[in-house]
């Protein structure tokens, strides 16, 4: 039986960590993109602080961490233009195939996550995204995640 041992939100959490890494490097502690902490269920980022302004340019940072396979590192590079991320590259330096696979998934996830403009800066009356889910679905999903952590 296939069983999920990873919450669906894991790529977002990973990307948030990378964003924090970049913030540290840029020397700007007021948070790069507060929206990256939003749970997938959050309907919008209305409360996120998006007021910070950044200089155009390319920023990069590297990070080291301990995986179950030993020490690993990644390098993230962002290009900013007019406060919009226009490009992201994540260079993975995996020491073994399993780590390489997960780093690859993560690299794809972070690139997708930063694409676009902050919704609260746009003059729109509606937002079109995937359907919001019912309480029943969300409760069941929470139970799955709890079981995965316990198991």
18, 77 Cβ separation under 8 angstroms: no
CB of residue 40 vs another protein: minimum separation in angstroms? 6
Q: Which of residues 53-82 bind another protein (CB under 8 A)?
A: none
Query: CB within 8 A of 52, min separation 6: which ones?
Result: 28, 30, 31, 32
Residue 4 touches another protein, criterion: CB under 8 A: yes
Select from 97, 93, 119 the least CA-distant residue to 35. 119
CB of residue 39 vs another protein: minimum separation in angstroms? 9
Residue 36 touches another protein, criterion: CB under 8 A: yes
- Residue 76's beta-bridge partner residues? 61, 90
Binding site for another protein (CB under 8 A): 1-6, 8, 11-12, 33, 35-36, 38, 40-46, 48, 50, 84, 88, 108-109, 111-120, 122-134, 136-137, 139-141, 144
């Amino acid at each position: 039986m296939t069983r999920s041992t990873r919450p669906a939100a894991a790529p977002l959490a990973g990307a948030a960590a990378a964003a924090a890494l970049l913030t540290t490097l840029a020397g700007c502690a007021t948070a790069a993109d507060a929206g990256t902490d939003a749970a997938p269920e959050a309907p919008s980022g209305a409360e996120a602080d998006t007021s910070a302004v950044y200089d155009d340019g390319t920023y990069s940072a590297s990070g080291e961490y301990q995986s179950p396979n030993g020490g690993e590192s990644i390098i993230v590079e962002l290009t900013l233009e007019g406060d919009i991320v226009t490009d992201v590259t994540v260079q993975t330096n995996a020491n073994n195939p399993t780590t390489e696979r997960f780093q690859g998934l993560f690299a794809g996830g972070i690139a997708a996550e930063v694409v676009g403009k902050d919704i609260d800066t746009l003059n729109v009356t509606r937002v079109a995204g995937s359907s919001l889910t019912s309480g029943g679905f969300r409760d069941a999903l929470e139970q799955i995640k709890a079981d995965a952590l316990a198991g």
